[in-house]
Structure 1
Amino acid sequence: MRKKLINLLIMMIILVVGFSVQAVGMNLKAAHTLPPEHPIHKALLKFADEVEKNTDGAITIDVFPAAQLGNERELVEGIMFGTLDFAFISPGAISLFQPEFGVFDCPYIFRDEEHLKKVVNGKVGEELYEKLEKNRGMKLISPFMLYGTRHLTTKNTPVRKPEDTKGLLIRCPEQPIYLETVKAFGATATPVAFSDLYMALKQGTVDGQENPIPTIYSYKYYEAQNYINLTGHMIRVNMGVCNAAWFNNLSEERKEIVTDAIKVAEDYNAQLINKQQTELLKKLKEKGMTVVKPDIEAFREACSNVYKEFEDEWGNMYQKIKAVK
């Protein structure tokens, strides 16, 4: 009897604490590694505004850009340990903890942005999100925070076909899928911390790098690179995650407010990214960069077997994504 009373008391305390958190409100932290000028940061500020407005100020969100709260791996760990509320990070960073997420960064896996959107918002994506929550305690709340289409930039060599990259040192993130992609091009993959990339380009430590146009412009890589080669080898998203236990403890009303606000932010970000990918390419030309249009089919063919290096980790996810119409 005494044990039952103690258990009942514990349950009452949990309910009271949970109710008080919902009623009094919350000040939350959202973090990412991109600069304040980047569309994703602007979209997250809109996310914070939407949540605050629709909860009458009961939930406020402070957004921390530029890796102020840590690099992507540290942000993922913060989510898992419950010390951070929201992180907006690359699938590659998530793949360090749930390997199947690396498939989203596979070169030329997506036909176009619409194909990508169908995958991350559909059954294939949901299968991976359920694994992430079950295995790592992370809830994926934003599958489509568009990051942009990645292109290759180089200092001295215009790249029109994969063979043109031979002998070049190309910086890429230190994640297996990126390393294998650059190797498939024919170049030497050279990991450099993102924070050190600008200086590595200026000093000639590497010959080139690959990133979306908004990132190339925001970080002023045009000051150290002469060619932007429109390889379009990855259409990339960042993904928003939070601690699953925290999210699942929210009231249904607040869950809906958060998810609705994320959708508003995703749409706003996609508009900004797509606008910038067109407008900033013109500005890169004005800054002196030469735009090169490579043989995309040759690059696609060069990368056609990259996925085979990861079949043990991804299972049949590559085939499932390619099959989405």
Structure 2
Amino acid sequence: MITRRTMMAAAAAFALSAPGVAFAQGQPIQFRISTAGAEQDWLARSLYQFKENVEKDLPGQIAISVHPNSSLFRQGTELPAIQRGNLEMSTMTTFEIEQQLPEYGIFSGGYVFRDYDHMRKVMDGPIGKEYIAAVASKMGIQIIDFIYLGTRQVNLRQLREVKTPADLAGVKLRMPPGAGWTALGRGLGVTPTPMAMPEVYLAMKSGAIDGQENPLALARYNNLQEVSQQFVLTSHLVQPVAFAIAKPVWDKFTPAQQEVLRKHARSAAEFNDKGRLTDEKELVEFFKKAGLKVTEPDLAAFKASVDKQYAEAGISQKWRAGLAQRIADTK
């Protein structure tokens, strides 16, 4: 794990000489964006829109390249790459931030956000601004906006009656690795099973796992309807990700350039969010027409179980005092 001292030293070195970033007079700043998002997904499409609009408004000043599908940096390596001065921008998850700022791990918590509108109000309001300031000062990374990755749902290879977490007992569910994910999975009632996403299709087909959880769009892009029989709309995680820029790079921009970047990050986020919300509604019907059963469980029971797991694992005790209530009170 990168320590704060190591990170700050790297950031200082980056401020003096950043590989791959041209700040010389008359040369455009070379600006690379790495994302795990699939090229056809709204996330990557929004980044291409961001590129086009920024380069249009700042001709000859910034040259942006977008690298989807983890084609430039493997997923999970973007954050240290930014902090070491090897990458300018990524779509950073709250789970990555949590590794260095556990006091803000609540933003990765299940059932913390009631829905998309609640998430947007929190992240766009005073709480989100505090979060951005903490990430900038303690991690050397500037968040210029948040974007909606989707609401995560449980996807099963075989039909099952699911009303409460007890109904998912014994289900081997693919989830990302990490203590927060493990606690979330146990709260959902499943046996969390870490696995790389490209392996999921065959694992579900063979029965090596019983299901997976992700936003509906990721299931569609990975053709999981071919190896599934059911979606359970647990809506356990309304997930924001951040447009994250290395702060030494950000600080090299003029205020006018920063304003252009902020403006087009917001328009890109709006483009993504609108498209994704529409997709989520349409995908429910798509999966039903594909022959899958789509069911709705008792969300209050799932929330209570997840909250209990966070407490028992000692995760919620690390969260900043009072933050959970402030988020809940945001209307």
Of 112-121 and 310-319, deviating more is: 310-319
- Separation in 1 of the partners of 2:229 and 2:121? 35
Q: Is it true that 1:91 corresponds to 2:97 in the alignment? A: no
Q: Is it true that 1:304 corresponds to 2:310 in the alignment? A: no
Cα 1:194–1:70, aligned 2, differ >3 Å: closer, same or farther?
farther
Q: Offset at 1:307?
A: 3.9
- Report the TM-score when normalising by structure 2: 0.88
| 8 Å CA contact retained: 1:92, 1:101 | no
Q: Offset at 1:45?
A: 0.5
Within the candidate set 147, 157, 164, 1:155 is matched to: 157
Q: Deviations over 1:189-238 (max 9, x none)?
A: 11112232222222221101111111111111112111011111111111
Cα 1:93–1:71, aligned 2, differ >3 Å: closer, same or farther?
farther
Looking at secondary structure, tell me which structure has more helix per residue: 1
Cα 1:79–1:114, aligned 2, differ >3 Å: closer, same or farther?
same
Q: Is it true that 1:315 corresponds to 2:317 in the alignment? A: no
| 8 Å CA contact retained: 2:22, 2:28 | no
Which is greater in Rg?
Answer: 1
- Secondary structure at the aligned position of 1:126 is classed as helix
Of 44-53 and 25-34, deviating more is: 25-34
**5+ residue gaps, structure 1:** 1-12
- Separation in 2 of the partners of 1:22 and 1:134? 28
Cα 1:116–1:250, aligned 2, differ >3 Å: closer, same or farther?
same
Within the candidate set 243, 246, 251, 2:249 is matched to: 246
Of 313-322 and 35-44, deviating more is: 313-322
Alignment of 1:250-269 (within 5 A): 250-269=253-272
| 8 Å CA contact retained: 1:226, 1:290 | yes
Give the AA of the match of 2:320: G
Aligned to 2:206: 203
Aligned to 1:133: 136
Alignment of 1:52-201 (within 5 A): 52-143=55-146, 145-158=147-160, 159-201=162-204
Cα 1:23–1:319, aligned 2, differ >3 Å: closer, same or farther?
farther
Q: Offset at 1:39?
A: 0.5
Within the candidate set 216, 229, 234, 1:231 is matched to: 234
The sequence identity of aligned pairs, in percent, is: 25
Aligned to 2:11: none
Cα 1:287–1:246, aligned 2, differ >3 Å: closer, same or farther?
same
Within the candidate set 283, 286, 309, 2:286 is matched to: 283
Of 229-238 and 191-200, deviating more is: 191-200
Q: Offset at 1:20?
A: 5.7
Aligned to 2:218: 215
Give the AA of the match of 2:149: Y
- Separation in 2 of the partners of 1:305 and 1:320? 19
CA RMSD of aligned residues (A): 2.0
Q: Offset at 1:22?
A: 5.8
- Separation in 1 of the partners of 2:280 and 2:114? 17
**5+ residue gaps, structure 2:** 1-15
- Secondary structure at the aligned position of 1:72 is classed as coil
- Secondary structure at the aligned position of 1:160 is classed as coil
Q: Offset at 1:264?
A: 0.6
| 8 Å CA contact retained: 2:31, 2:65 | yes
Give the AA of the match of 1:220: N
Give the AA of the match of 1:320: R
- Separation in 1 of the partners of 2:142 and 2:70? 21
- Separation in 2 of the partners of 1:311 and 1:284? 35
Aligned to 2:5: none
